[in-house]
């Protein structure tokens, strides 16, 4: 079954995927200087892949996704936009290893958390990154952009972090309907609310309560930036860049909707970016 077949509203999912597209396109600045081929894993409807292909017409892009309907839509959109330097396929990442093509860059844009949630947890993430490493040419670049925080935010001692209870109170005050508070209790029963990491996760989940019936089980922040750093180092890759940040539109929204202060916002994250180079 496709990762996305259980979504009630595919259009809603796709609109979320295309949101913050400029932030997602930051990965392009890390492509090798003489980049000729790029593999985009989990391309969905191809919005990001097609945009990259339009901006880099000299580069050949391949977008893959398990959902054949998404691939068909991506092909249609590429044809409508007259973008000819992109190909879309419905294929498992691992199946590409048996083929001869190798790439100068492999991108995972807002997709590896789904490998974690719909696969076998961290082992699925590790296999995906290892497969991508094998699919890279020498000196090729791995680009991971996803929801992430720091490992330290998971520590139990953060339950006593100054301001934790104030953050919780502000969030609960905004969701004052009983049905809405029931949603939060559902989150708490599944993931717990004992750390800044958990509150950060809750804030991200609250963006999509209209689809919780289908994706409540998804842990958006299961894999931290430190996990990815450790993984690429095990693979012998050279770490070029690693960061976690809070997207400006989320900073503004959380400040507006929950009244969070600059100090409180400074402890929260939404997005990680990791770039690593294959050494040989």
**Per-residue pLDDT tens over the stretch 228-274:** 999 999 999 999 999 999 999 999 999 999 999 998 898 899 999 99
Question: How far, in Å, CA of 215 to CA of 218, rounded?
Answer: 5
Supply the pLDDT for residue 160: 47
Supply the pLDDT for residue 92: 97
In whole angstroms, how far apart are CA 86 and each of 43, 75, 76?
11, 9, 12
Q: Are residues 28 and 104 in the same domain?
A: yes
Q: Are residues 129 and 176 in the same domain?
A: no
- Looking up residue 59, the CATH number of its domain turns out to be 3.40.50.150
Q: Which residue has the higher pLDDT, 142 or 207?
A: 142
State which of 95, 124, 146 marks the end of a domain.
146
Residue 169 lies inside a defined structural domain of this protein: yes
Residue 133 lies inside a defined structural domain of this protein: yes
Cα torsion 19, 20, 25, 30: sign: negative
Q: Mean per-residue pLDDT for 136-148? A: 97
70 burial via Cβ count (<10 Å: 0-12, 13-18, 19+): buried
Q: Are residues 18 and 41 in the same domain?
A: yes
Q: Are residues 173 and 52 in the same domain?
A: no
Q: Whole domain around residue 80: which residue ranges? A: 10-146
Q: Are residues 17 and 109 in the same domain?
A: yes
Place of tokens 């929260």: 268
pLDDT tens-digit series, residues 148-192: 999 988 875 554 455 667 787 888 887 766 666 777 888 888 898
């Amino acid at each position: 079954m496709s990762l996305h077949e259980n979504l009630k509203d595919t259009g809603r999912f796709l609109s979320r995927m295309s949101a913050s597209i400029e932030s997602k396109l930051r990965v392009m600045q890390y492509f090798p200087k003489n980049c000729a081929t790029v593999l985009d894993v989990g391309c969905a409807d191809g919005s990001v892949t097609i945009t990259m292909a339009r901006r880099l017409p000299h580069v050949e892009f391949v977008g893959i996704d398990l959902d054949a309907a998404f691939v068909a839509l991506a092909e249609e959109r590429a044809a409508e936009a007259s973008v000819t330097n992109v190909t879309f396929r419905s294929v498992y990442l691992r199946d590409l290893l048996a083929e001869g093509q190798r790439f100068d860059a492999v991108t995972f844009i807002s997709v590896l958390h789904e490998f974690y949630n719909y696969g076998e947890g961290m082992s699925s993430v590790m296999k995906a990154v290892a497969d991508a490493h094998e699919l890279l040419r020498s000196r090729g670049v791995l680009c991971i952009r996803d929801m992430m925080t720091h490992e330290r935010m998971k520590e139990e001692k953060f339950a006593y972090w100054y301001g934790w209870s104030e953050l919780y109170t502000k969030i609960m005050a905004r969701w004052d309907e009983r049905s809405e508070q029931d949603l939060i209790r559902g989150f708490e029963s599944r993931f717990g609310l004992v750390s800044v990491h958990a509150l950060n996760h809750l804030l991200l989940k609250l963006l999509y309560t209209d689809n919780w019936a289908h994706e409540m089980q998804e842990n958006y922040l299961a894999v931290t930036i430190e996990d990815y750093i450790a993984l690429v180092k095990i693979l012998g890759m050279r770490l070029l860049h690693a960061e976690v940040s809070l997207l400006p539109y989320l900073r503004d929204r959380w400040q507006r909707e929950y009244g969070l202060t600059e100090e409180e916002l400074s402890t929260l994250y939404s997005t990680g970016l990791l770039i690593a180079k294959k050494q040989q």
